[in-house]
Chain A
Amino acid sequence: MDFISILSVFVLACFVGYYVVWSVTPALHTPLMAVTNAISSVIIVGALIASAAAGEATAKWLGLLAVVLASVNIFGGFAVTERMLAMYKKKERPAAAKK
């Protein structure tokens, strides 16, 4: 892709991000941070390319280290978001939990 097409994707995505994030309910702002953190680990794509490339050994090891760090984030981030979201419950109308 040439620079201008990449830039177009980027600018449009910023607008999408702007509107999508404003629609997030404030009660879910912490899960929002956790999940954005998980998806920003898409940087693992770059790490994988670096560690798959032949040639420069240092670059490969830096890439592998980055793969580990990004994986911690991906798995940890999504799992912790899942854990948080599972806690958000609506009021049970037939009052069962109360004595």
Chain B
Amino acid sequence: MHEAAPINPWVALAYLVAGICFILALRGLSSPTTSRRGNRLGMIGMGIAIVTTLVTHVPMETVGLVLEGPSGMVAAIGPVFARIDIVAIFEILAAIALGAVIGLTIARRIAMTAMPQLVAAFHSLVGLAAVLVGCAAYLNPGAFGIAVDGIIFPVSRIEMGLGVAIGAITFSGSVIAFAKLNGNMSGKPILLPGRHILNLGTLAAILGLVAYFTQDQAPWIFWTITVLSFVIGFLLIIPIGGADMPVVVSMLNSYSGWAAAAMGFTLGNSAMIITGALVGSSGAILSYIMCSAMNRSFLSVIAGGFGADDSGGASGGGEKIDRPWKRGSAEDAAFLMSQAEQVIIVPGYGMAVAQAQHVLREMADKLKAEGVTVKYAIHPVAGRMPGHMNVLLAEANVPYDEVFELEDINSEFSQTDVAFVIGANDVTNPAAKTDKTSPIYGMPILDVASAKTVLFCKRSMGGVGYAGVDNEVFYQDNTMMLLADAKKMVEDIVKSLD
């Protein structure tokens, strides 16, 4: 920072404009009508940042009679001057083009149901890029203006160490999250013995090494920090179960921001710092929203292991077989809904798995044609990432003004004729309100039980929700269980509505 060439005020200004574009990009997401303009502003901001960097860091090569000394030192004889290095520019543009082709292809091909995996995969790339930049800065600190005669400034060492550590955690954590979401790895928590001590010890070691790094910039310290951070990212995510993934994905989102911010500190670059702070707070807020929607503390989610205890679920499974419940057919469901004044549809992860969103919208269209009011109720943690259900419904062309958040629609269930629950379970369980011993006690739920009739579309009676607790709603007098694959069931209902 100190010995770098005086910063051109126009350059600093350009990065600031880029940062403002990013702020406005997020601001645009406050409503679907302004969101696309926001996204464009984000692209413009990124364009400004990239062009500014390329213009101010044109690769140069020295030309002249150059002799390389035996120790790798460059000894020049004769006039030496610098000229633009065309090859290096070409390499950089080729790298950008390669990334663009890969990125655009993925973005075009990806199915909307695979969005959680995609976001996790993208996070891992940011993390890895941060690690690579940190390594490059460590190997060639002069290029980043953070060193005098190869001695890196202590404050830059902290920033660099933290940046690499956060980047590496983001990378390995996101890889595990991706594998769990994509089904390459079981969604079940993997619990290592003594994992809390192991994790805390590793974290302490990383922080200790970062502190020591300010005293001694030896390579072993830097590389140990990097490797330990990869390991801790892996250890932190493996004990967390599938349905806690919304929190994990948000948290990794946050980390990728902090990694960018740390690198921004190293480079003294305002665009990176502003972006890092935005992304970091965004992810943190989303994690907070997800945690409070489950009434669990962030620490308990991160500690992991939720839903790993099979005993509770199994014993619950044993007693519930004896309890009476009603089974309905597609025809019954079609009849009930077509006679209703208002139907509220409650989608959950099961709808995403069955890819039932399109046929669900078809059903809603048929009902609307018969004069039924159809609304959708979304629980904040439905699905595998924040807003997952909203995207799927939007993909199926459900107008967003028919889709409501929990607090906006919960009071309406008591005046609703039919609540149609499809692929959701825990988020409707009244035990969250009544049973203090339940693991989901205190979690805000969608009040489907108070609707006149509850149609509960579920694959079988055997399976329990993620929390492993039985759902009282199944056995209510006004509940009719529709046991089938969600998509198949809704297709049959659509046929019966004709």
Report yes or no: B1 in contact with A79, Cβ–Cβ below 8 A.
no
Q: Is the interface of A mostly helix, strand, loop or mixed?
A: helix
CB distance from A97 to the nearest CB of B (A): 7
- Residues of B in contact with A (beta carbons under 8 Å apart): 1, 7, 12, 18-19, 22-23, 25-27, 29-33, 35-36, 38-39, 42-43, 45-46, 49-50, 53-54, 57-62, 85, 88, 91-92, 95-100, 102-104, 106-108, 110, 112, 115, 118-119, 122-123, 125-126, 128-130, 132-133, 135-137, 139-140, 142-144, 155, 249-250, 253, 256-257, 259-261, 263-283, 285-286, 289, 365, 368-369, 378, 380, 385-388, 390-391, 394-395, 397, 399-403, 405
| Chain A residues with CB below 8 A from B129, complex form | 41, 43-44, 47, 66, 69-70, 73
Contacts of A38-72 to chain B: CB distance below 8 A = 38-56, 58-60, 62-72
| Chain A residues with CB below 8 A from B110, complex form | 80
Contacts of A64-99 to chain B: CB distance below 8 A = 64-92, 97-99
Given A59-B137, A99-B369, 13 other A-B contacts at CB below 8 A?
A1-B1, A13-B277, A36-B257, A42-B18, A49-B53, A49-B57, A50-B133, A51-B59, A52-B92, A54-B62, A71-B96, A85-B32, A88-B400
Report yes or no: B402 in contact with A22, Cβ–Cβ below 8 A.
no
| Chain B residues with CB below 8 A from A9, complex form | 270, 273-274
Question: What number of A-B contacts does a CB cutoff of 8 Å give?
Answer: 403
| Chain A residues with CB below 8 A from B401, complex form | 90-91
Report yes or no: A26 in contact with B387, Cβ–Cβ below 8 A.
yes
CB distance from B132 to the nearest CB of A (A): 4
CB distance from B281 to the nearest CB of A (A): 3
CB distance from B399 to the nearest CB of A (A): 4
Q: Mark A15-34, 1 if CB is under 8 A from B, else 0.
A: 01110111111111111111
Q: How many residues of A contact B (CB 8 A)?
A: 86
| Chain B residues with CB below 8 A from A69, complex form | 99, 125-126, 128-129, 132
Report yes or no: A29 in contact with B39, Cβ–Cβ below 8 A.
no
Complex CA distance for A36 and B45, rounded to whole angstroms: 13
| Chain A residues with CB below 8 A from B46, complex form | 38-39, 41-42, 74, 78
18 A-B pairs within 8 Å (CB atoms) are namely A20-B23, A27-B390, A32-B29, A36-B278, A39-B45, A45-B271, A46-B266, A50-B136, A51-B59, A53-B144, A56-B139, A62-B132, A62-B139, A69-B99, A70-B125, A71-B102, A90-B400, A99-B369
